[in-house]
Copies of this chain bind each other. A is one copy, B any other.
Amino acid sequence: MIIVMATPTIEQIDRVLEKLHQHGLEASSLQSYGKTVITAIGSSQTQDPGFYERMPGVEKVMSIVTPFKLVSREFKQENTVVTAGSAVFGGQSIAVIGGPCAIESYEQLHETAVAIKQAGACMLRGGAYKPRTSPYSFQGLEQEGLNILKAVSKEVGLPVISEVTDPRHVEGMSDVVDMLQIGTRNMQNFALLKEVAKCRKPVLLKRGASSTMEEWLMAAEYIMAGGNENIVLCERGIRTFETYTRNTLDLNAVPMVKHLSHLPIIVDPSHGTGNWRLVNPMSKASLGAGGDGLIIEVHPCPEEAVSDGQQSLTPGNFQQLMTEIQVIAIAMGRNII
């Protein structure tokens, strides 16, 4: 931690040094040009800039330690590989999850599952509890949706993932799905994160639409500190001023997160663009950036979808995508199926 003081008195400097000492931090100070700069080093848990920012004479306080520990590359050098049912994230293969935004019926989900499995997807997605901006929009089939998901998973032979939105649902959903999804609106729903940490189920942690990479890694830290190490990160687009796309897919996050953390990272180009035409090129871009996988919205009839039809691929589009990204995966030294 660095504490910059502007023309402080000796008493003010002493007070800061004393407080650092109380918190068990080692400190040194340097004075010049009217500024006094205090460098403090020690166990990171005790370093909260907020304790010092309002002390008399202090101009600003800067943290020099990364706030995340367990998820950091420094803590663990080698890449983490997460297994959820038969799906593997972070290994040699690119993992592709496909399926509808919302489960609408057995027929819809079954038809999609068969198609994506044949095209090479390793996991089926389907929402049963849908967080919707409007209380008047379709909120998901809820428990009935989970029943359908369970049945289709068994029949088609694909592991499944579904979004959990309520800490009271974590236990029940864990019996049904192979992987729990934390959606973008719940990335900082700490009550939910703590519950998911306890259940030890593999987790797909989507980035909050307005979250920095640091906040995202801190959310993963919550899960890991709570005892669940099976975390896959998912970049899904951030909120910017641009309006031609629904979100701005931040592919910088892929190599940056890989630099900072040992966790696998996949990309959601469906929400990241909000436009089915961009899903194919941005899937290729995601692999080029070094992503470990993709999660793609697929619907047998997008124009009849009750949610997010404009960003869903048809089974035919998805089959073509899988064929085309196979070549990119190989060029990146990886493979898909």
Contact = CB atoms under 8 A, between A and B. Distances in A.
B239 A45 contact: no
17 contacts: A4-B64, A6-B74, A26-B30, A48-B306, A54-B276, A54-B305, A67-B134, A131-B188, A131-B190, A132-B190, A165-B190, A168-B191, A254-B285, A255-B277, A255-B281, A288-B289, A331-B331
Interface of A: 2, 4, 6, 26, 28, 30-33, 35, 37, 39, 41-45, 48, 50-55, 60, 62, 64-65, 67, 74, 131-137, 165-168, 185-186, 188-191, 209-210, 212-215, 218, 221-222, 225-226, 238-245, 248-252, 254-256, 259-260, 272-273, 275-278, 281-282, 284-290, 302-310, 312, 327-328, 330-332
Query: Which of A225, A256, A259, A327 has the most chain B CB within a 10 Å cutoff?
Result: A256
B53 A310 contact: yes
B165 A167 contact: no
Given A188-B185, A289-B284, A252 B248 contact: yes
A241 B190 CA distance: 22
Nearest to A276: B54
Given A6-B74, A212-B243, A281-B288, 19 more contacts: A2-B37, A2-B64, A28-B39, A33-B41, A48-B137, A51-B309, A54-B310, A62-B62, A132-B190, A133-B188, A133-B218, A135-B225, A185-B189, A212-B242, A214-B243, A240-B240, A244-B256, A248-B250, A254-B285
A135 to B, nearest CB: 5
A287 B250 CA distance: 16
Contacts of A167: 166-168
